[in-house]
Amino acid sequence: MAPRELPSASIADTVQFNQAIIVPNAVQGLFRRRPGPVGVATRLGLDGRAVRLMEGLRARYAPGPVWIRVMKDRVLLCLDVEDVARTLDGSPHPFASDPPAKRTGMGHFQPDALTLSRGELWENRRRFTEAVLETPAAVHSLAGGFLDVVVEETDRLLSVAAAEGGGTLDFEAWHAMFRRLTRRIVLGDHAAEDEEVSELLASLMSEANGLPSEPSEIYPAYTERLDAYVEAAEPGSLVSLFAGAPHDVDTRAAGQATHWLFALQDTLATNALRALALVATHPAQRAVVDRELEGDEAPYLAACLQEAMRLFPTTPLLSRETLVDVAWHGTTVPKGTQVLIVNGFHHRDRARLEYADRFAPEAWTEGDAGSERAFNHFSSGPQGCPGRNLALLVGTAVLAQVLRGWPAVVVAGVADGLSPDAPLPYSLNPSALRFAARGPGGSGGGGVADS
């Protein structure tokens, strides 16, 4: 029997796919989101259009992936969750996670990154990363100190917001707090004031959005600063664990910390603020959180954070490249093929998930969301995020501290349509969110303020 060919998308579908997904993603910033274009994309509802388009593609071309042109490349787009799982279970071999655009862009600010590494080098760097981040542990051995940092920095944020911000909190202040907290956790307390190291990294990431072919002029200044912190290895910080973690010259230990810096200070900051907005606009879930905060553990609040990431994934697309010919659905996918996973679609799959478009933390605490292969905000499989537990620990602790300090916190101003009574929107622009204390003892108590 002749091998079955995988289908190819029509010209109309290809044009729409590029218009609705590829171009907006690039314009909003592949490595550092640009607030202006993110606001425009949110207003235009582009993420919702993308999900509808993906539903149409699946109806027309599944089962199996479909060939589609992305700019000048012919890539394979996963439509079924089985193909998503297969791709991620096979990463980084045969599905390498460094297709050309990612290599060019990320290579600009972290040329030694684990996620750009292949084969033995990936294994070497992954071993080191997992040892320092203590990936399999639910609670990191340095968690006690990290949580002290969280409490100090969050309390500071709330008191500055009360004194200078008129009792309101926005993404700018929130993000600055996350940057400080991140520097202390990753590099040590002596980096608390070093705004410049964060700023250098942010500038490098902005440059990377343009997929530059020339090395950056500021990269040497950034690495010099980073190396000095690694060298100093302040006790209690992540870099203090480098010496005891398995590594050699190829590991490029200091080069691994860049990913941790931006993942904590940018990615987690965005996700945690969205989670706060969801909790603040959903009274029933909020009541569960409030009860939970009377105790020490906060699994439901951690689930709220997971939900924010499911609903609004900060990694909207996962891309891979085949390192060898791969047998797939009775055909051979040639070496060098790019494979694409659209997280935003699989996370909101109405055909599979009863709770696709609502805020459902109980799906994590009581249901099987934790093992759902469609959810890949942390990716999954051998190359899944090694900082997942650390991110959940820190993010949940920040949220808990805010909700304790501002028990009646409400979303003030734009809430981008967050409500338990209607399907949730597909985007939630962090820069547009603003919170008001209305407390303690205030009358806010959940819901969207009318201010």
Residues in contact with ligand HEM by the rule CB under 6 A = 97, 114-115, 126, 129, 133, 259-260, 263-264, 267-268, 271, 309, 314-315, 318, 377-379, 383, 385-387, 390-391
Judged by beta carbon, residue 204 or residue 412, the one nearer ligand HEM is 204
Q: Cβ of residue 260: shortest distance to ligand HEM, in angstroms?
A: 3
The residue among 322, 254, 338 whose CA lies nearest residue 70 is 338
Q: Residues 46, 309: contact at Cβ < 8 Å?
A: no
Judged by beta carbon, residue 16 or residue 265, the one nearer ligand HEM is 265
The residue among 274, 261, 256, 350 whose CA lies nearest residue 314 is 274
Judged by beta carbon, residue 96 or residue 432, the one nearer ligand HEM is 96
Q: Cβ of residue 132: shortest distance to ligand HEM, in angstroms?
A: 9
Judged by beta carbon, residue 262 or residue 406, the one nearer ligand HEM is 262
Q: Cβ of residue 113: shortest distance to ligand HEM, in angstroms?
A: 7
229: Cβ contacts below 8 Å, ≥ 6 apart: 187, 188, 190, 191, 197, 237, 239
Judged by beta carbon, residue 386 or residue 444, the one nearer ligand HEM is 386
CA angle 373, 286, 315 (to 5 degrees): 35
- Rounded CA separation 279/399 (Å): 10
Q: Cβ of residue 261: shortest distance to ligand HEM, in angstroms?
A: 8
Cis peptide bond upstream of 283, omega within 30: no
Give the three-state DSSP class for 318: strand
Residue whose C-beta lies closest to ligand HEM: 387
Judged by beta carbon, residue 16 or residue 25, the one nearer ligand HEM is 25
HSE value, Cβ hemisphere, 13 Å, CA-based, for 182: 27
Q: Cβ of residue 263: shortest distance to ligand HEM, in angstroms?
A: 3
**E strand or H helix that includes residue 85:** helix 81-89
Q: Residues 356, 346: contact at Cβ < 8 Å?
A: no
Q: Cβ of residue 347: shortest distance to ligand HEM, in angstroms?
A: 12
Summarize the chain as % helix, strand, coil (round to 5): 55, 10, 35
Q: Cβ of residue 349: shortest distance to ligand HEM, in angstroms?
A: 18
Q: Residues 111, 219: contact at Cβ < 8 Å?
A: no
| Strand residue runs (E) in 261-415 | 317-322, 326-328, 331-333, 338-342, 410-411
Distances (CA, A) of 339 to 78, 206, 333, 356, 372: 7, 25, 10, 24, 20
Q: Cβ of residue 262: shortest distance to ligand HEM, in angstroms?
A: 9
Judged by beta carbon, residue 272 or residue 410, the one nearer ligand HEM is 272
Judged by beta carbon, residue 10 or residue 315, the one nearer ligand HEM is 315
